[in-house]
Copies of this chain bind each other. A is one copy, B any other.
């Protein structure tokens, strides 16, 4: 479906550990400011775990009444159902719903199918229906909330795995999607390895800095760290490595 080599295990494992906050900082340092989905949050902060995976996209355009019939749902070429059946295991299904707040991206049966197929999670800038059932599934869903009306009320699923916009951010198939309690960041595929590496280093440093702050260190000299603090960090790191 796309020619990119799979994410390395190291990168994948690192991205499962680091926060979306750290990733946005690393992307900012490289001049990328528009990488954070607006209006997209974990469906349930309590039950939704960290989400990492390459993007597989579904694009919706506005519905037209004569095309939006219940019968279309049974068509094997209907892009929404086809996307759910063809997104590879470990990938994240990302839907462009144009930020529309009505018209559910999916409901409990489709979410169950995604989970059974081993899909990593769902991301949409629209809402879902059956939100209580989905929250209980243990399947990571990041979306704009809950709304019962079915997708046909607002959306005509147009095509699969083209570049889309979601939450105001460009998503190319294969881009790495990372979600946590804050929401969802899009890491361009070609930057994933270096971003993961630098993010891990940044978080390691910040783990050290927060112990200093907890012990009463002032921000100046600590965060961002002075040369002395950096030296102390290196010493701490070496000690920890032993």
Contact = CB atoms under 8 A, between A and B. Distances in A.
A13 interface: no
B85 A214 contact: no
A194 interface: no
A11 interface: no
Interface in A79-114: 81, 84-85, 98, 101-102, 104, 107-110, 112-113
A85 B219 contact: yes
A66 interface: yes
A54 interface: no
A55 B39 CA distance: 29
Contacts of A149: 24, 28, 33, 35-36
Contacts of A193: none
A19 B130 CA distance: 8
A16 interface: no
As for how many copies of this chain the complex holds, the number is: 6
B182 A146 contact: yes
A158 B96 CA distance: 14
Interface residues of A, number: 84
Nearest to A96: B61
Given A31-B66, A148-B19, A223 B109 contact: yes
Contacts of A213: 109, 112-113, 116
Interface string A24-60: 1100111111111011010001000000000000000
List 5 tightest A-B contacts by C-beta distance, closest first.
Answer: A132-B181, A21-B129, A20-B148, A21-B148, A148-B182
Given A62-B168, A76-B220, A148-B182, 6 more contacts: A19-B148, A36-B102, A73-B224, A132-B180, A146-B182, A148-B183
Interface of A: 19-21, 23-25, 28-36, 38-39, 41, 45, 61-67, 70, 73-74, 76, 81, 84-85, 98, 101-102, 104, 107-110, 112-113, 116, 129-132, 145-150, 152-153, 156, 158-159, 162-165, 168-171, 180-183, 185, 188, 206, 209-210, 213-214, 216, 218-220, 223-224
